[in-house]
Structure 1
Amino acid sequence: MAVNSNELRQRKASGQNGTQNGTTTDEGRKQDELLDKHQSYEFGGPWGVTAMMTGFPMLMYYLWICLWFYDGKLVAPTSTDDIVPFLWRMWAHVRDDASPNAYAWKVYTGLVVYQLFLALVMPGFKQEGLPVPSLTYKTLTYNCNALYSLYATMITAAGLHYYHIFRLTEIIDNYGHIMSVAMIYGFAVSFGMYFITVATGSQMRMSGNFMYDVFMGACLNPRIGSVDLKMWAEVRIPWVIVFFLAVSGGCHQYEQYGYVTPNMAFMILATWLYLNACAKGEECIPQTWDMYHEKWGFMVIFWNFAGVPFTYVYSVVYMASHDPSKYQFSTPVYVLLFSTLLTAYFIWDTSMSQKSRFKMQTQGINTFRSTFPQLPFGTLKNPEFIQTAHGNRLLVSGWWRYSRKPNYVADWIMSFTWGVVIGSATAIPYFYSVFFITVLIHRCGRDFERCSVKYGKDWERYCSIVKYKFIPGIY
């Protein structure tokens, strides 16, 4: 079904089936009320989430041990008689090389406290979020100062490294110890927020099962002063650690070999692009599903505090502990690798910007923050959309004309390059892209199902226009 541009623009002007500024209609409020209740279990229910809460930390330890101590090979017991000795060897590595020692507590806690301090005191751009159905369509204001905080952090880290107060090289050398502390933080914050929320009577969308509710979360937008903890943790913790792990790997190589390999430089660039994009486009985050609907539970908290930073950069861990000859490429391969990264980044950055700024436009916000780098095609002029009976608008312009999730496609391609950067030396760095595509497919299923309920026939019309879920012309 072809897009009728004139019809879409007329609907935009008249507010047909909705309102001129995208305000939720009475019909839309009924659908939101339905979606804002616990209806069914996800992730395999209580048993499934319990398995993930116990199994994922063990998987993180296992992959790190294989990478650091077994040359990236996926080791296993050689026989049934070797099972107990094998488990004991795994435990010995955790006990001796990943203990939550004083150094790790100092480093990780120092980062958390410093990032929270910066979030509280740094000047920022005030951004209004989308109306939150769970809060009777109240809009929350977010102080977007991640960019100032990022550069303050980089300057601080550079100074500490230069004056030998805190050597960045030590981060990668203490990877296991810091990872253990990060896991403890993930569990402590998750359970702590659950009990605080229930004690204050501010829980919402609860299932009644303890483990499931801890996993999915009880609160929506917890705050300390002007800091929205959910948005703060999404940007200031995981991606800062990911970037500095890459920088630490580069420092490690320079001190050992006198140079930084193109592969490690690739990871420093890739992690900086991602971190800087989150910081410079922070005002777009309040417009996302994560902020106005997803609760702050173990699923999000543990992933931000421990999962992302200590599973996404396995390539850095491998390169920091192996001779560069194991993963060197030819010049044309490096050119292709960097080109792929930058192209995927451009599509990811601009598609996220297009969608978020389109949502801002529906709220009457037409002046956008200018931060580096602002890429062309990030803001759509006279965007085409479908005005739904719910009151919301579904964008069918820009990258969103060709795929329902163009940002996911580009994001996954970037994740894949983070594994390709070490070639076939080991399969473990590809964990990020394999896990990520699984998460994205599951999340799309959740999102598309919710949209089907929320928009009804308007969603069917949208799907007839934007035919492909991910890759245009393929799927």
Structure 2
Amino acid sequence: MAVFVGALFVASRLVPGPAHEGLAAADGTRRRYVLNGLRLFVLTGAVVALAAMTNTWSPATIVERFGAIFGAANVLAFAVALALYVTGRRRQRRGLLDGGPAAMLRDFFYGVERDPAWLGVDLKMFSYRPSLIGLALINVAFAFAQWERHQRLAGPLLLYEVFTLLYVANYFHFEHGMLSTWDVLEERFGWALVWGDYVLVPFFYSLPGWYLVDRLTPLPTAATVGLVAMYALGFWLFRGANEQKHRFKRDPAAPIWGRPPETLGGRLLVSGFWGLGRKLNYTGELLLYYAWSLPAGFGSPIPYLPALWLTFFFPHRAHRDDRRCRAKYGALWAQYCARVPWRMIPWVY
């Protein structure tokens, strides 16, 4: 695990990529980012393919050693979070024990710094790379394991592989869109985000693939078509809403669905998806996760755990976002909520 993350860190430092300037944070500062995530994703895929074709290494090894790798990921996450705590407090000229247990725990959990960087690599943006490339690699390992055990790839796992690899590839294609998110602009980087990146996303979100390795029952054609339609709808909502928000933040005059954008006070977008619901991007992503889970059928709750977790997490996050936006925009946010009363499902919620 450390070798994988370390190799990606070195590659993030050395592999060229397009430079993007982030939006201004609340304190007015801006950062520049080298967004080479897509190149690292392709490079990792090429290395894995070469190793598999030359019988140097099989991705199925990940499945055989899944427990050990999971344990190593947890150790790494705690080590990184501890290093961030120590370096962050030192940069702020604070003692490691200052503030007492409550302040120490808060700084360890949520982080001390907003934009920590090591050797010129922004750690918050970097950590999405081992997170999502790791998710893709684990899922590919499930496909190799099924092939080695059963000499074929069953339809449910194949569909799951296509869905998840498209999701990861699209994230890196749209990597610049992360620069306009609250997570990157304002959230501090501590154990909560580190553990989410290095453990939760690659290991928990891959549970449907783990479950499908030894499930060979074919999917009916109608079910496959329905799942593809669900995935396409979710993708349209998720990526479309996020792309509109990012474009508006970069250029408030950019057209939305071919028309000039309608705004409130020039600050809040009420065109496109953002005129239909305040968090349709969450709705779309939730549909994607259910499309990942449904190929597993209904024999076990295990493949549905990620989707069920997000079913509770996204409404909670939508309420949290409402509170933050109300504090930031004041009366303007109240006008927006009156104009767009629905959060995730128009006319329902």
TM (norm. structure 2) is: 0.93
Aligned residue runs from structure 1 range 433-452, under 5 A? 433-452=307-326
Aligned with residue 293 of structure 1, among 177, 183, 186: 186
Q: How far does residue 178 in structure 1 lie from its aligned partner after superposition?
A: 0.6
Which structure 1 segments of 5+ residues have no match? 1-107, 367-376
| Structure 2 unaligned residues grouped into runs of 5+ | none
* 1:171 maps onto 2:62 in alignment: yes
Alignment of 1:241-252 (within 5 A): 241-252=134-145
Query: Structure 2 vs 1, CA of residues 449 and 380 (structure 1 numbering), >3 Å: closer, same or farther?
Result: farther
The CA distance in 1 between the partners of 2:113 and 2:71, in whole Å, is: 26
Counterpart mapping for 1:261-276 below 5 A: 261-276=154-169
What residue in structure 2 maps to residue 150 of structure 1? 41
Once the two structures are TM-superposed, the CA of residue 229 in structure 1 deviates from its matched residue by 0.8
- How far apart, in 2, do the equivalents of 1:385 and 1:248 lie? 46
Contact 1:239 1:274 (8 Å CA) reproduced: no
Give the counterpart of 2:74 among 183, 187, 190: 183
Give the equivalent residue in structure 2 for 1:384.
262
Deviations 1:328-348 (A, max 9, x none): 431111111122112211221
1:425 aligns with 2:299: yes
Which SS does the other structure have where 1:237 is aligned?
Answer: helix
Contact 1:124 1:144 in 2 (8 A): yes
| SS in structure 1 at match of 2:34 | strand
Give a deviation string over 1:212-238, Cα, whole Å, max 9, x none.
Answer: 22111111001134421101102x111
Alignment map for 1:272-421 (pairs within 5 Å): 272-320=165-213, 322-325=214-217, 328-362=218-252, 381-387=259-265, 393-421=267-295
Distance 2:14 2:259 in 1: 35
Mark the CA change 1:312 to 1:202 in structure 2 (over 3 Å): closer, same or farther: farther
Shift of 1:399: 1.0
Equivalent residue, structure 2, for 1:160: 51
Q: Which amino acid aligns with 1:460?
A: A
Find the aligned partners of 2:119 and 2:130 in 1 and give their Cα distance.
18
**1:227 corresponds to:** 121
Letter in 1 for 2:106: Y
- Secondary structure at the counterpart of residue 142 of structure 1: strand
The structural deviation recorded for 1:181 is 0.5
Secondary structure, counterpart of 1:346 in structure 2:
helix
The alpha carbon displacement at 1:188 in A equals 1.1
Post-superposition shift, 1:379? 7.1
Distance (whole Å) between structure 2 residues aligned to residue 163 and residue 131 of structure 1:
48
Question: In the aligned structure 1, how far is the partner of 2:44 from the partner of 2:338?
Answer: 47
Q: 1:281 to 1:202 in 2, by over 3 A?
A: farther
Q: Which amino acid in the other structure matches residue 150 of structure 1? A: F
Question: Is the contact between residue 243 and residue 272 of structure 1 (CA under 8 Å) also seen in structure 2?
Answer: yes
Cα distance in 2 for residues equivalent to 1:210 and 1:418: 39
- Conservation of the 8 A alpha-carbon contact between 1:350 and 1:378: no
CA–CA separation in structure 2 for the residues paired with 1:406 and 1:340: 15
TM-score calculated relative to the size of structure 1: 0.69
Aligned alpha-carbon RMSD (Å): 2.0
1:378 to partner: Cα distance: 8.1
Name the counterpart of 1:43. none
Q: Which has the larger radius of gyration?
A: 1
Alpha-carbon offset, residue 257 of structure 1 = 2.2
In structure 1, how many angstroms separate the alpha carbons of the residues matched to 2:336 and 2:84?
A: 38
Where 2:251 maps in the other structure, the secondary structure is helix
Secondary structure at the counterpart of residue 134 of structure 2: helix
Aligned residues of 1:353 and 1:379 also touching (Cα < 8 A): no
Q: Which amino acid aligns with 1:348?
A: F
Deviation of 1:211 after TM superposition, in Å, equals: 1.5
**Contact 2:58–2:144 (8 Å) recurs in 1:** no
Please tell me whether the aligned partners of residues 194 and 218 of structure 1 are also in contact (alpha carbons under 8 angstroms).
Answer: yes
SS in 2 for 1:209: helix
Q: Which residue of 2 aligns with 1:102?
A: none
> What do the CA deviations read for 1:395-450 (whole angstroms, capped 9, x no partner)?
11111110101110000111122221211121011110111122212222221111
How far 1:352 moved relative to its partner?
Answer: 1.1
Counterpart contact for 2:164–2:292, Cα < 8 Å: no
Tell me if structure 2 keeps the 8 A contact 1:142–1:226: no
SS in 1 for 2:76: helix
Tell me how many residue pairs correspond in the alignment.
Answer: 344
Alpha-carbon spacing, 1:411–1:323, altered in 2? closer, same or farther (3 Å) = closer
User: Whose relative contact order is higher, 1 or 2, with alpha carbons under 8 Å and at least 6 apart?
Assistant: 1
Mapped to 1, the partners of 2:40 and 2:85 lie a distance apart of 28
